[in-house]
Amino acid sequence: MNIGEAAKASGISRKMIRYYEEIALLQPGRTANGYRVYAPQDIHTLRFIGAARRLGFSVPDVKALLALWQDRSRSSADVKRLTDGHIKALRARVAEMNAMIGTLETLARACDGNDRPDCPIINAIAAHDPGSQRR
């Protein structure tokens, strides 16, 4: 199938399919005149990549997962180690986001939200230290 059909079948945009090919996550066949040709296995690979990306894995981690998926002699310990690292990174991001929410809530409570120009939110951002307003 061509790239448009592959995009439709996999749920991955043409642009992303080209990108995945460019970074060697996918290597479709080519016709004599250079057009990409996607086989059922390529669609399966694209779906795998899409699922991993939706779980938030980085492109390097997707590359590692893809190699593990394609290696039938892999150790599940390697997959688990990669996943555990991703979970740790996600938890750190959640903690950072919760800290940002806390800071913004504190700043929002400190702001009168009236017609006057004085605003602690703007002042904290302008001071480049919004965290100094934390609870």
What are the sequence ranges of the domains in the chain?
1-72, 75-135
Instruction: Give the per-residue SS3 of the chain.
Output: CCHHHHHHHHCCCHHHHHHHHHCCCCCCEECCCCCEECCHHHHHHHHHHHHHHHCCCCHHHHHHHHHHHHCCCCCHHHHHHHHHHHHHHHHHHHHHHHHHHHHHHHHHHHCCCCCCCCCHHHHHHHCCCHHHHCC
pLDDT in tens, the chain (135 residues): 999 999 999 999 999 999 999 999 999 999 999 899 999 999 999 999 999 999 999 999 999 999 999 999 999 999 999 999 999 999 999 999 999 999 999 999 999 999 999 999 999 999 986 665 544
Question: What is the predicted pLDDT for the residue at 135?
Answer: 43
Please state the pTM of the whole predicted model.
0.80
pLDDT number for residue 58:
96
Q: Which fold has domain 1-72?
A: Multidrug-efflux Transporter Regulator; Chain: A; Domain 2 (1.10.1660)
